[in-house]
Amino acid sequence: MNELINRILLLTKTQKFGLLAGIILLIIGLDWTFLYSPLSNRIFDLEEQVKNARIERIRKRNLTKDSAKLKEQLDEFNQMLRKAVAQLPDRKEIPELLSSISSKAREAGLEILIFRPQAENLRDFYAEIPVDIVVRGGFHNVVTFFDEVGRLNRLVNIRNIEMRNPEVNGAKMSVQTSTQAITFRFLDEAERARIAAAKAAKKR
């Protein structure tokens, strides 16, 4: 060790500075290799983890917002469905509904010439019940009848309106009006099962 020190002391000033610079560079290199570089990699990994955690937090926050929005939309849909259900009678209520429609025609001052329910058209969960209607009366009476039908608490569509054969009776004119009223009813569970089975059989 003393010999090494003596050799260093015998070096010129320039050589001593060169040796010192080499030692410093060696220390810096060792420090980079064994201390700074691993720490730098670890810091980079931690930064990536923090960034990913922030992204995940934002994603979960957005999911929470979307979930609340979806729940609100589902509640609105269920409310609309309940209203629709309230407007569609079941089988046992149909005669009363048809009676109400014919009563509205008479109350509006119309003469009923034809009031004929047709065969039901079955859908997935409901049935359409068409009723052919022919009445005679004034135009205002016909409009009143349609308006009253539209005010029923059950869903009834009026279509294919046709007016013909006008007649003048004193100061009043009457027309013969033909139309089709479409009302609806919910299918019971057995009916829905039959329809589903028939559709499945067709696909085979």
Range from 75-79, 84-88, 171-175 that averages highest in pLDDT: 171-175
Please give the Cα distance from 7 to 107 (Å, whole number). 129
Of the pLDDT bands very low, low, confident and very high (cuts 50, 70, 90), residue 104 is: very high
In sequence order, what E strands does 15-83 have? none
> What is residue 143's predicted lDDT score, i.e. its pLDDT?
92
Rounded mean pLDDT of 96-122? 90
Of the pLDDT bands very low, low, confident and very high (cuts 50, 70, 90), residue 142 is: very high
- Closest listed residue to residue 120, CA positions, set 73, 69, 56, 184: 184
Rounded mean pLDDT of 187-204? 80
Residue 40 or residue 189, greater confidence:
189
Please give the Cα distance from 114 to 125 (Å, whole number). 29
pTM above 0.85, yes or no: no
% of the chain residues with pLDDT over 70: 67
Please give the Cα distance from 149 to 118 (Å, whole number). 18
Q: Which long-range contacts (CB under 8 A, 24 or more apart) does 155-162 make?
A: 155/84, 155/87, 155/88, 155/183, 155/184, 156/97, 156/101, 156/181, 156/182, 156/183, 157/181, 157/182, 157/183, 158/182
> What is residue 126's predicted lDDT score, i.e. its pLDDT?
82
Residue 34 has pLDDT above 60, yes or no: no
Please give the Cα distance from 182 to 187 (Å, whole number). 16
Residue 174 has pLDDT above 80, yes or no: yes
- DSSP-assigned letter for residue 185: E
Q: Any bridge partners for residue 117, and if so which?
A: 131
